[in-house]
Amino acid sequence: MFRVEVEIGGNPHEVLAHVSGKMRMHFIKILPGDVVTLEISPYDLSRGRITYRQK
């Protein structure tokens, strides 16, 4: 589980996110400071899934 900082409307929010299955399957590592793409759950806006690590 990772704490990801997201800016929505200029206001910072923290989202608790886990790594998606394909990233886990291909052993893609995420380090602090990496820029990632995030899918946020429509049911709980404080949880999400990391789907991509930017290069």
Q: What is the pLDDT of residues 11-47, one digit of tens each?
A: 999 999 999 999 999 999 999 999 999 999 999 999 9
Segment holding 22, helix H or strand E: helix 21-25
In the prediction, which pLDDT does 8 show? 84
Going along the chain from its start, the domains and CATH numbers come out as 2-49 (2.40.50.140)
Q: How are strands ordered across the β-sheet holding 11-19?
A: 2-8, 11-19, 47-53, 36-40
In the prediction, which pLDDT does 47 show? 96
User: Are the beta carbons of 47 and 16 closer than 8 angstroms?
Assistant: yes
Residue type (1 letter), 14 = E
In the prediction, which pLDDT does 55 show? 86
Which residues fall within 8 angstroms of residue 37, CB to CB, at 6 or more apart? 50, 51, 52, 53, 54
The span from the CA of 41 to the CA of 44, in Å, is 5
